[in-house]
Amino acid sequence: MKLMIINGPNLNMLGIREPGHYGKGTYVELVALIEAYCKEKGVEEVDFYQSNHEGDLVDAIQGAYFKGFDGIVINPGAYTHTSIALLDAVKATSLPTVEVHISKVEEREAFRRVSYIRAACIGTVSGMGFAGYLRGIDMLLERGEG
């Protein structure tokens, strides 16, 4: 299995940004956690991409398809709630994709309850902190083994 982990806007600010919602861990620590988990799980390859720009995230989703990745874990950040382009990109690739949110989006502002990308995802994980990404990876692995 080759997995692509995509993070959207402001997730490079983890550790600095609203620790009450997102914790104190940094983006670098998140990457290290996921790398260690994938190693433990025997994942062949895991790649990471973070951008604050919507079109770059579309390119990363399409890139996962063209580079032969088997699945995507994506935290689209605020683009979750606004971006039809990201929804269409996931639909275009048909790659199994899990939507992850560090915070419990359903219990925050009403606008965070809307997710465009969700319609194209095989599952959503929210409110589990960094462990949510690991849960997302498990969902892809379980599906792959299935």
Of 1 and 8, which has the nearer Cβ to ligand DQA? 8
Question: Which secondary-structure segment (H or E) carries 71?
Answer: strand 71-75
**Positions in the binding site for ligand DQA (CB under 6 A):** 10, 75, 77-78, 80, 101-103, 105, 112
Can 101 be counted among the known catalytic residues?
Answer: yes
Of 75 and 93, which has the nearer Cβ to ligand DQA? 75
Of 87 and 105, which has the nearer Cβ to ligand DQA? 105
Can 21 be counted among the known catalytic residues?
Answer: no
Beta bridge partners, 75, equal 7
Which amino acid is located at 111 in the chain? F
Q: Which of 79, 101, 116, 133 is catalytic?
A: 101
CB 52 within 8 A of CB 79: no
Q: Which residue is nearest to ligand DQA (CB)?
A: 77
Q: What positions carry a catalytic annotation?
A: 22, 101
